[in-house]
Structure 1
Amino acid sequence: MGSLGKLIRAAALALLAVGAVASPGRAADGPLRVGYSDWPGWVAWQVAIDKGWFKEAGVDVQFEWFDYSASMEAFGAGKIDAVTVTNGDALVMGANGSKSVMIMLTDYSNGNDIIVGKPGLKSLADLKGKKVGLESGLVEHLLILNGLEKAGLKETDVEIVNVKTNETPQVFGTPDVSAIGAWQPIAGAAMRAAPGSRPLYTSADQPGLIYDVVTVSPTSLAARKQDWAKFVKVWDKVVAYISDPKTKDDAVKMMANRVGVPPESYAKLLKGTRLLSLAEGAKVFEDSDGFGSLYGSSRNADAFNVKYGVYKDAQDVKSYIEPSIAKAATAKAAAK
């Protein structure tokens, strides 16, 4: 394993070591506790929270707000039942002791995950020999490795500086790095702080590379499958409310208020996140190779993670995916 691979693996293990001693699972009563963080496809849940739709659906749900990596730490420690993460990062958690099962997709990243270069840099090729600040072993690392490979560069052609995603704008303003990897709105904050900076590679350059999911502890899923089924059904109301021109502004206000930005700014962020209805998500749940399938995307992420030393052993991707709940909700909706 190269020096970069050792760095990635060390960072991933440090982040998720708590998962190795995770509690066996929460009790089969009380609210479903879900960790969510600052990504448009997950902030979208704020609409259901503010509108009281979980209560209407007959399920008690408590959402808890975290920085992204902290949400995974909380899941690994057994403090929450489920967490919103990328499909690739669900594998990272599982490989390091915090197994989960993906029960639904919220969206795929369509440009909101970004490798941002300082002024004067025009492409990933310009990063050769330079330092890039991002959270080692997690989603933006997958993004840059995918881009480097397509650009004909090796992992050793850049030096990764391990930086928590929420801290990348501050690091970008120092001489320590030439580029950072982050998602919106964090990537936008970095670009605003450095006029003339620009995206060098985004998730729109590889559609389907990054799917965003709700992933649940196996213990909670087994004990409360009917509650999770009620939870999943609410998602279509969220997507419909955000998509309807008559209610979109109201939805954006709720989402913007959650993250503390003006609604007009937040509306722009939605363009780089492709929200998926349950019916659209059911198609992505079909088992096939390639980036149009959650299975294919996850196998690709698993191969990257093993190749670059994020974790040692390939994961059984199928054991991380449970499509039945979302598919059943889609079938019932279609039958009405």
Structure 2
Amino acid sequence: MKFARFASRALSGLALLATLPFTQAEPLKIGYSDWPGWIAWEIGIKKGWFEDAGVEVDFQWMDYVASMDAYVAGQLDAVCMTNGDALAIGGTGKPSVGIVINDYSNGNDMLVAAPGIDSVSELKGKKIGVEEGFVAHLLALKALESAGLGADDVEWVNVPTNETPQVLATGAVDAIAAWQPNSGQALKTVSGSSPVFTSADAPGIIYDLLYVSSESLEGRRDDWQKVANVWYQIVEYINNENNIDEALEILSARVALSPEEYEPFFKGTKILPLRLAKKVWEDNDSLKSVYGSSRIVNDFNVDQGVYDEALNVESYLDPSFTKAVK
């Protein structure tokens, strides 16, 4: 009899639950674009690892600037950005928090000079085409500094990054600063052009991260931890030499290239394994730290008038997700 009463109450409770509305969490909407460290998310998507981890995600593929615009407009929960651009967006009204360091640029960002110019020092008095205020601009300034030159030693021409190959080809500028695939396209388009300085000459000047809105992070922290866990599953897969052929097939298919064409882009990006990522999360003022790098970009953004006062860099970075990965 006791069992019968218990069963009856249990069934009544189930019947009541059946009448209540069932709400399922919306997929996490993430914007990503054409950069090797971000296309790498495609591996987790194709292999179903997010479903295995118990988190529903909606990765939305779009142009880089368009992805940031969509994020600012509240259409995305997160977006893949450089540390400098995340600060730029934050300084103009949309703060975010970086929870995963995907990579640092290791050669894919370039200062590409026209034929006949073989060094940065030869750019003195010449024209450099660059999208002012973006990370390629910072890289160009770093290049000039390495040659003992300053910003006033060249003439700057403001050019959208995706137009830099064509502008170099017209001869309107003597060099351009851009990232892949635009930097590579410039080298192909202008015969005899060459990279006179790349991000490999200043490793850590540009970090690429997954940045999440404060609202989404506060409400879905457990889900974002699952996303971080999957990222390091992807990294472990990539770093296994037995998987490199399949990885290149997945990555190259996203941008409609052959694996052979895509491989140089992949090699120009240092995707950080967990051990190295934890070191990069250590707070110091060197380029080996995402904090140090971000402070340099913070100063650059103020100098360029992107925003008026330096931001609190620490509030844009949260190492706890990486530290929690087993």
TM > 0.5: yes
Q: For the residues of structure 1 that align with 2:64 and 2:153, how far apart are their CA atoms?
A: 28
1:113 and 2:128 are equivalent in the alignment: no
Partner of 1:137: 133
Q: For the residues of structure 2 that align with 1:159 and 1:220, how far apart are their CA atoms?
A: 43
Q: For the residues of structure 2 that align with 1:66 and 1:163, how far apart are their CA atoms?
A: 20
Match of 1:99 among 79, 95, 98: 95
Partner of 1:183: 179
Partner of 1:173: 169
Which AA in structure 2 matches 1:136?
A: E
Compute the RMSD of aligned alpha carbons.
1.5
CA distance 1:120–1:81, shift in 2 (3 Å): same
Partner of 2:56: 60
Q: What does residue range 21-100 of structure 1 map to in structure 2 within 5 Å?
A: 29-100=25-96
Q: For the residues of structure 2 that align with 1:141 and 1:248, how far apart are their CA atoms?
A: 33
1:71 Cα deviation from its structure 2 partner: 1.3
Q: Secondary structure at the match of 2:242?
A: coil
Which AA in structure 2 matches 1:119?
A: P
Q: For the residues of structure 1 that align with 2:77 and 2:159, how far apart are their CA atoms?
A: 27
- Quick check: 168-177 or 228-237, which moved more? 168-177
Match of 1:284 among 280, 286, 303: 280
**Over 6 Å off, 4+ runs:** none
Which AA in structure 2 matches 1:98?
A: K
Q: For the residues of structure 2 that align with 1:160 and 1:257, how far apart are their CA atoms?
A: 36
- Quick check: 107-116 or 169-178, which moved more? 169-178
1:195 and 2:191 are equivalent in the alignment: yes
Q: For the residues of structure 2 that align with 1:28 and 1:159, how far apart are their CA atoms?
A: 55
Which AA in structure 2 matches 1:86?
A: T
Which AA in structure 1 matches 2:208?
A: D
CA displacement 1:308-335 (0-9 Å, x = unmatched): 3332210100011111111111xxx2xx
Q: For the residues of structure 2 that align with 1:235 and 1:242, how far apart are their CA atoms?
A: 11
1:158 Cα deviation from its structure 2 partner: 2.0
1:162 and 2:141 are equivalent in the alignment: no
Partner of 2:252: 256
Q: For the residues of structure 1 that align with 2:299 and 2:243, how far apart are their CA atoms?
A: 41
Q: For the residues of structure 1 that align with 2:67 and 2:160, how far apart are their CA atoms?
A: 13
Maintained 8 Å contact 1:28/1:220? no
Q: What is the aligned-residue identity percentage?
A: 52
Partner of 2:11: none
Maintained 8 Å contact 2:283/2:289? yes
Match of 1:247 among 234, 243, 246: 243
Partner of 2:231: 235
Please, which runs of 5 or more residues in structure 2 have no aligned partner? 1-22
Please, which runs of 5 or more residues in structure 1 have no aligned partner? 1-26
1:298 and 2:294 are equivalent in the alignment: yes
* TM-score (norm. length: structure 2): 0.90
Maintained 8 Å contact 1:279/1:327? no
Q: Secondary structure at the match of 1:121?
A: coil
Which AA in structure 1 matches 2:192?
A: G
Q: For the residues of structure 2 that align with 1:42 and 1:50, how far apart are their CA atoms?
A: 14
Q: Which has the larger radius of gyration?
A: 2
Maintained 8 Å contact 2:91/2:306? no
* TM-score (norm. length: structure 1): 0.87
1:148 and 2:119 are equivalent in the alignment: no
User: Aligned residue pairs: how many?
Assistant: 304
Which AA in structure 2 matches 1:62?
A: D
Q: For the residues of structure 1 that align with 2:307 and 2:120, how far apart are their CA atoms?
A: 25
Partner of 1:13: none
Q: Secondary structure at the match of 2:170?
A: coil
Maintained 8 Å contact 2:115/2:192? yes
Partner of 1:319: 315
1:189 Cα deviation from its structure 2 partner: 1.2
1:28 Cα deviation from its structure 2 partner: 9.6
Partner of 2:222: 226
Q: For the residues of structure 1 that align with 2:38 and 2:251, how far apart are their CA atoms?
A: 9
Partner of 1:268: 264
